[in-house]
Structures are given as structure tokens and as C-alpha cells.
Amino acid sequence: MMYESEGNNLSILAEFTALAGSLQGSNLNEDVRLKASAVTRSLLSALELPFERIMQDVVMNPPTLMAIRMGVQLEIFTQVSQNPEGITLQTIVEKTGASPILVDHQTAKDNIICADNMISPQSPDSAASMCCRVCQAARCTDIQALSFDYGNGRSNGGSNNLSLNKLVLILETSAPPKLQSSFAKNNNHVLSSVKDTPFQLGCNTEFSYFEWLGKNPDLARDFHQWMTLKQNATPSWLDWFDIENHLAEDFNAEASDVLFVDVGGGEGQYVQGLKEKFPDAPGRLILQDLPQVISAVDSPPTSVELASHDFFTAQPIKDARAYFMHWTLHDWPDEQFQSILRHIVDVMEPEYSNLIIHETIIPDTNCDLPSACMSVMMIIQVAGFERSEKQWRELLESVGLSKVVFHQPPISGEGIIEAMK
């Protein structure tokens, strides 16, 4: 019986191993891939012992972040990515001028970066000399080492590390101890000020997160690069939302010549996508953001007007068919949320102008882990958070928007919230 049980265990292990191998490079459709990922996480949860789960979250995750930081600092990801045939550890040492011990620690066969599948050790003998031990790119290596064309989101091999890695600096300053200290200082109440968050404690600053970015232009550029990357890596709302029937069909050129205003639209990826998908759409397309953001747009979207605008001031574009906002309102507590929207509501034509909000709609039950983590990150950095359908509806109705409709994406990601007055 013991041998039969052991045989079954080995059979299950072999099946897991074979399945993992078969999925490498597979072309699963997005729906199946996401569902399979969820099942896999459930499987891992079933296999892990409680102690192992706690060890992963508390002990292992922080060193992983530090190892990624060192991989960036030593340019390990860049060098491995630029050498498809592999690169020896000795070559990395020579190019970086770093300590051989430090490079060896970061790239050894059993180290964090390899264990976390950031790079792939190719030398079978981990005791071989540094001149013989070779590393090659793994699935995650290239994205750690790429620079991006901000205008179109295409990746370009280069020496600039992706903003995700640079943003690790910001994330670490708002680590859980800072979160605890910040809430303790506020008697464990919900934070209501963008200048009184764990971020201020972590970065030792009195500025809000976005003010701080404005005074650190290199990090601000990284931030917008990261936003561009994330937008290009997630399903586009233009692929599933019936924008023709919701916008263009009822466009009234006599009431206003503006079809679409992207409020706080960064470098214009979405308004450009709209123009490309519907090249014959009527009316003007306008991209709005702060002056420093608009002035930094290197390649303005074709046929799109650029306009400097602070959404805490009066909205200058009246009676547009649509006012669009993406990843904007989750950055703010309720009071600022309402202030931003009131300026838009003031210029909306009743039963014609449409407010379109493209953000996460937190489910009441079974919230996915990424959305839950993002909500906590918003609390840490800006005192905002991801909102449920009930919370969205209450806030929208509080500023005079009574016609509120929710649209969930067909697979995953942020939904669409429509509102009229």
C-alpha cells in the first residue's frame, strides 16, 4: 500500500512537470489563460503548508524586491538580454566593475533572481569558475531590460531599465511598517488627505505623491512610461465597449463640435487608439493633462488636440459628447473625487454628454488578488482606493449624475462606468 501511494505521488508529480513543460510558449486564448492562472493559484494554495505561505509573504518577498533592485543596479538584466547566446558571469563582472562575489550571489544557480525565473542559469555545474558559468534570458528578463517608445508603447532593446524596476524604489518607501505607522498616527482611521499617507513617511516629504513626482522629473517620466506599458499590456476598452452606439451615433455637431475629451490622459494612448479604430469618427478629439505632462509629449497623437488643464479647475470644454477618464479617480479620496467630477458635471449637456470612467469595479465578493493589492497601494501612496459598484454609484450620484450604467469587461481588467445628468 505504501508503494502504491508513493507511486501515485510520483505520478501526480510527473503530470505537474509535464503540464508545466507543455505550457511553455503555448498560445492559449486570453480567457483560458486567465482562468488557468486562477486555477493554478488555487492549486498552489492547496499544496502549500500554512507556514510556507507565511514565510513567502513575510520573509521571501522583501528579499526578492531587493534582488531585483540589485539586478537593475548591476545591469544584469540588460546584459543578459543583449546576449541571446548567453553571457558569462566573468563578463558581467568586467562590464559592471562590480564585486565578483556580489555578481555571483545575484546570478548563482540557486539565487533569488534565478529561482524567481528572472534569468536562466545555463551552466550545469554551479561550482564551475565564473568564466565558464553562463546565464541566458528567461521569460521575464527582457521586460526587466527594455526601454519603451512612449508614443506607441513598442518595446526597444536598450540600456534604460524599465520603469517598473525604478518604481520599486517608490514602492519600498511605502513598505508595510510605514503603512502601520501612518494609520497608527491617524488612530487607524481612513486617510482623507493626499499629504498624510505612508508615502510621506517613507519618502520623508511633505509633498503629495504627484507633487513629489513633479519635482522629480526623471521618476515622473518613469511613472508615465509605466502607465503606458500597463495600458498596452491590458485589453483595450475599445475592443469590447460599443463606442459607436454610445458616442458617435448620437453626436450633435450643432450642440458641440467636440466628440471626446480625455481628461488627465497622459501621453494620449487611449485617444490615439480611438482615432485609429474609428478614423472617420466625427468631431474633435482633445487630450488634457497638466502642463508638464503635455509639454513632455514627444509624439502627439495624430489629429488630436493637446490642451493643458488641471482637473481641479473649471473644465473649459463645454457640451462635449464624451468626457473620458482612466486611472484617475482611484488616485483620490472621496472629497477630491467629488471636486474633480463637479467641474465636469458643470459643463455636461443633460442627457447628451456622457462621462466614461475606465477603472476597476471591485466585486462585493471574490475580489481578485491584483485588484485587492492595487487598492492597498492606492491607500499607501495617495489615500485613494479601488471602489465597488455601490461606492461608485453613491459618489457619482452625489455630484448630480443620476443615470449610471456599469459595463464589466468580457474577460478581466477594468470596467466601464457611464454616467449622464
224 is known as an active-site residue: no
Under 8 Å between Cβ of 398 and 338: yes
Give whole-number Cα distances, 243 to 132, 260, 382, 417, in Å. 57, 11, 31, 13
Cell of 52: 510556507
Q: Using DSSP bridges, classify how beta strands 305-308 and 284-289 pair: parallel, antiparallel or unpaired.
A: parallel
Query: Helices marked H in 129-186 — which ranges?
Result: 141-145, 163-173, 176-185
Distance CA(215)–CA(212), nearest Å, equals 5
Cell of 128: 564551475
Residue among 224, 326, 330, 358 flagged as catalytic: 330
Residue 410's φ and ψ, nearest 5 degrees, are: -70, -25
Buried b (16+ CB within 10 A) or exposed e, 278-313: beebebebbbbbbeebbebbeeebeebebbebebee
Residue 63's φ and ψ, nearest 5 degrees, are: -60, -30
| DSSP letter (8 states) at residue 314 | -
| DSSP letter (8 states) at residue 97 | -
Query: Which residues face 286 on adjacent strands?
Result: 261, 305
Query: What positions carry a catalytic annotation?
Result: 330
